[in-house]
A and B are shown apart, each in its own frame.
Chain A
């Protein structure tokens, strides 16, 4: 049963009727024995892929198999930031398609995801960093994507909390993308699950995959019994290697824990998303008033969905160096998700050594922002068997071909991130 269209009029009507008329946003499905397409993983990318397969490619016989509940994996653990300020041209095109997807998201999916284009500001602390950001801004401008340089006075006007005269890392300026911002992350999952369910996709929660038998069809052993499917998409983030091992191959992926934190609620003090260039720290203020912030990964292989203490200290130290006033706030919660860190820091949306088995992985700690485009390109790949033009550079074979993506200048080792 559909949940019906959401609107201001509907809200008013339900309010008059005591809010008794709301129905489940998506139909809770049981796994059937056979599907045309099975998607393993009900996170942002899995759900967006299901939605695009049904909406854009007209395939309705789809199951999304989710081990837990929708929104309780990395989709509900990220820091909700969206932006498209990348450097290489193919990545700028891909991530800006995602950002344009966010701009259309609420109208297209009829769901209030609190898309807020408040701007993302990357701070600059050294001359070299300024040159790099200028180069990145120019690369973006060549692709028609907005980016601008902000001088220190401009930074202070945008974010009064920032300490400009830090002795070690004085703020020399900022790199601003005004179209960047935040999106309420769990609403994204609910919106895609609702839209996909309305199109006939089975959203099967609390059903984990414990075995994959290649063949045609591919047989999945699940906690609810065997499920066969003509084509299978793996969209399981940090657990990609585990699922790939079930199917008999290895990936250029290591799994790392990434932490995030939120403070008590305060009055609005931070209008946009700010990242620190002197250390690894980024922050924004949620609509509830909490400062949501995070830093680097824990730095070693980990499937533990909790953080390590040295990284807590590292993140807090960086944050207080940049915005000393934050020291007055209490941290309410700290959590971690497990990330699929690829060997060149860019995603893998690709076919695999197993026929009819496809991958959407390697999103590292930047998967959330990519969801609208990631779902589209993964759906295109699964529906047609060929890469989407926006994602040809994300193929798995790039590592063997020596065509890794030199996006961040980081070394090709996850432990260097």
Chain B
């Protein structure tokens, strides 16, 4: 069971949250072209290690926020609002 620190509600069980994927990708400008959008939509670093990702507190405040989690050990190092960056 992951214990996820919601920036608004505090720490809660994984069962309250919904995973929303990789938070390290950024949407390219509208005129960036097919290759840039292909990379944005489909390609992922998919690391075996630290991963920046979106979670939504679906059964809590319903906010979507970022979590930095290790994909092998499941250790969570940081959580923060959109636009913030882990230290």
Complex contact B48–A303 (CB within 8 A): yes
Residues of B within 8 A of A300 (CB): 2, 19, 53
Give the CA-CA distance A241 to B48 in the complex, in Å. 9
Contact B45 A252 (CB under 8 A): no
Check B72 against A303 for contact (C-beta < 8 Å). Answer: yes
Q: Is the CB of A252 within 8 A of B43?
A: yes
Render A7-36 as a binary contact track against B, CB cut-off 8 A, 1 for contact.
Answer: 000000000000000000000000000000
B19:A255 contact, CB within 8 angstroms = no
Provide the residues of chain A in CB contact with B2, threshold 8 Å.
300, 308
Chain A positions 252 through 285: 1 when the CB is less than 8 Å from some CB of chain B, otherwise 0: 1111000000000000000000000000000000
Cβ contact within 8 Å between A254 and B1: no
Residues on B with beta carbons closer than 8 Å to the beta carbon of A313: 15
- Which parts of A291-345 form the interface with B (CB within 8 Å)? 299-304, 308-310, 313, 343
Hey, which chain B residues are within 8 Å of A301, CB to CB?
22, 46, 51, 53, 71
Contact A412-B19, Cβ < 8 Å, known A304-B71, A310-B14: no
Main secondary structure on B side of the interface with A:
mixed
Is there a chain A Cβ closer than 8 Å to B74's Cβ?
A: yes
Which A residues are in CB contact (< 8 Å) with B48?
Answer: 239, 242, 255, 303
Q: Which of A239, A250, A302, A415 contacts B45 (CB 8 A)?
A: A250
In the complex, A400 has a CB within 8 A of chain B: yes
Please encode chain A, from 226 to 254, with 1 for each CB lying within 8 Å of some chain B CB and 0 for all others: 00000000000001011001000011111
Interface residues of A in 399-417 (CB under 8 A from B): 399-400, 412-415
A residues 360-417 touching B (CB-CB < 8 Å): 399-400, 412-415
Interface size class of B (residues with CB under 8 A): 20 to 34
- Provide the residues of chain A in CB contact with B43, threshold 8 Å: 250-252
CB closest residue in chain B, given A252: B42
**Shortest CB–CB separation between residue B8 and chain A, in angstroms?**
20
Chain A residues with CB below 8 A from B14, complex form: 308-310
Are B74 and A413 neighbours in the complex by a CB distance under 8 Å?
no
B21 within 8 Å of A (CB atoms): yes
Flag if B1 contacts A255 (CB, 8 Å): no
Q: From residue B27, how far is it (CB to closest CB) to chain A in Å?
A: 15
CA distance A261 to B5 in the complex (A): 30
Could you jot down 28 A-B contacts, CB within 8 Å? A241-B45, A241-B47, A242-B46, A245-B45, A250-B39, A250-B43, A250-B45, A251-B43, A252-B42, A252-B43, A253-B46, A254-B22, A254-B44, A254-B46, A299-B19, A301-B22, A302-B74, A303-B71, A303-B72, A304-B73, A308-B1, A309-B14, A313-B15, A343-B41, A399-B38, A399-B42, A400-B35, A414-B21
Q: Which of B's residues lie within 8 Å of A, judged by CB?
A: 1-2, 13-15, 19-22, 34-35, 38-39, 41-48, 51, 53, 71-74
Question: What 8 new A-B contacts, CB under 8 Å, besides A241-B45, A255-B46, A400-B34?
Answer: A250-B43, A255-B71, A299-B19, A304-B72, A400-B35, A413-B21, A415-B19, A415-B20
